[in-house]
A and B are shown apart, each in its own frame.
Chain A
């Protein structure tokens, strides 16, 4: 130990805390609730409930277009929303049309089909109850085209079958043939582009789910242009809770949104505590500086 080195006070130590210590705290705040299976039930807020109610109100056989506009980086946040929507649509016997504006969304459609539709609803038939249209380049330009003629861009489905050979595609002309558009993601292109180029000009209800960081950017469209929005894990957890409330059988199914609310709650509390500590040390430091200045002035 260096005897010449001035001894740091408690608040100075806290203020200069190594960031790796903070990382450690955040790590534990996430890992411990996961290990203890600490989860929290949510109540659906109006912005989430409105999507649930809309799907609930659609008659059997209604057509829902689901666009997978996200990638693996946001899978932990967005996938629980996708799973919940797919379950709800399958339970209501709605026809599900899946497509992607993002190249990375193509694989996620296949994974969702395998994990949710084929696994949990094995009686659903591909081409009759659900179809994978895959990824097409063009971003908002693609939406612009399919608003008037979907088959101009989609001549086959993702498996290579002729589009008119897919029974549920026969009576689809354009975006206006759908009763609801669900865009999953929140990045570019995503919900905003679906609202601007699809929902508004075609007068088609648009809803969706976005990551927590992008959700605030979409609030200006709610509720007139955007029917509802699931924001981050909380949005997913709220929808899962609404689904369980409406269909208690889903209680036994996986609900990652609800499960992740526990770790998120603890992590948020840890971050809030660090902000509080940071501010206390800041004010203590400022007070000390003022006192030193005053003492210096008095000596002069």
Chain B
């Protein structure tokens, strides 16, 4: 969290329960649903999307944490849905590129990808 100077918006109490080892960045949720494998308890999603659908998609994919980059304002509906569904939402002023770079440098690997047909 201090690595990306992030602010926890929801699910703070769950922070101790998750261990993030891999990451995936997307601004199109279908790309996330199409590409990422299904075992995602250790995956963080880095995105520029702020609407409640990031929480829905995370729940669907069993992704425990979402980082919203570029310091974008995250609406209340998204935060309260994150709280309700037990998704850790983090906001950072950093852009997606830098956020990913710092995480990668800290040893976070890429999410497992489903190979195309």
Binding between chains A and B? no
Q: Which residues of A contact B (CB under 8 A)?
A: none
